[in-house]
Amino acid sequence: MSRRRTRLRSLARASEYFEGCARGWLFDNAKTVVLKRHGNAVRFHPRLVELVGAAYVSLKVCTPRKANQKGRVERGIRYLRERFLAGRHIHSIEQGNRELLTFLAEVAHPRPHPTLHGRTVADCLVEERQRLLPLPKKPAASEQVEPIPVDKQAFSRFDTNRYSVPPDYKSSTLTVAADDAVVRVLKGDVEVARHARCWGRRQVVVWGVGLAQVGPRGGGSDVSPRV
């Protein structure tokens, strides 16, 4: 999955976690953010513009080779890298997220604020949440969307894996919309299949036990090696 989609999804999820959007987002000049720059004139990636437009957030970038303009953000990254990630084995997104939330609640937030003496990080977060912009009612999409052919066995191939769809859609072309957790298969605006995303390679992901039970909702996906 591209870094651009990962960045957009992470920005949206961070806003959900903080229950609001910061009024301005400051970036360096990564290619996932800036398509072209000439002096102070910046051409941003259109998907990023779509995301900040939905949230009514201002978009800014640092001057090239002026990393100090990002302020203390690198210290927060270093804190997580040294205090949370170092020596930890993360086997899945779900496990990593669970452990990170526990770390934030029990270690990171109760700690004394590094510059505001007598206050904790949690105290400051409560105060700053009051200043955030409300979350957009209709967030910008961050899924990977592309047309996908369905074979005669009612399987669609995505990212080296085969995902089942209802037999009625065999030998047709549908649309896949995927993020890091879910793969959805659409006919126009109608969702016809939904699977947990498989990060293996050359796997067959089947809805329920057999094709007779394939359906757009309910149950779960069985993953088996491709034979």
- Report the candidate in 60, 57, 25 with the shortest Cα–Cα distance to residue 136: 57
Q: Which residues of the chain have pLDDT under 50?
A: 1, 209-227
pLDDT of residue 67: 67
pLDDT of residue 208: 54
pLDDT of residue 214: 35
Q: Using a pLDDT cut of 70, give the percent of the chain over it.
A: 89
pLDDT of residue 225: 40
pLDDT of residue 219: 40
pLDDT of residue 181: 85
The residue extents of the domains of the chain are 3-129, 144-225
- pTM attached to this predicted model: 0.71
**Beta-carbon contacts of residue 11 (< 8 Å; ≥ 6 apart):** 25, 51
User: Which residue bears the tokens 């200043």?
Assistant: 131
Domain 3-129 class? alpha beta
pLDDT of residue 90: 93
pLDDT of residue 127: 94
Q: What is the mean pLDDT of the chain?
A: 86
> Which helix (DSSP H) or strand (DSSP E) does residue 184 occupy?
strand 182-187
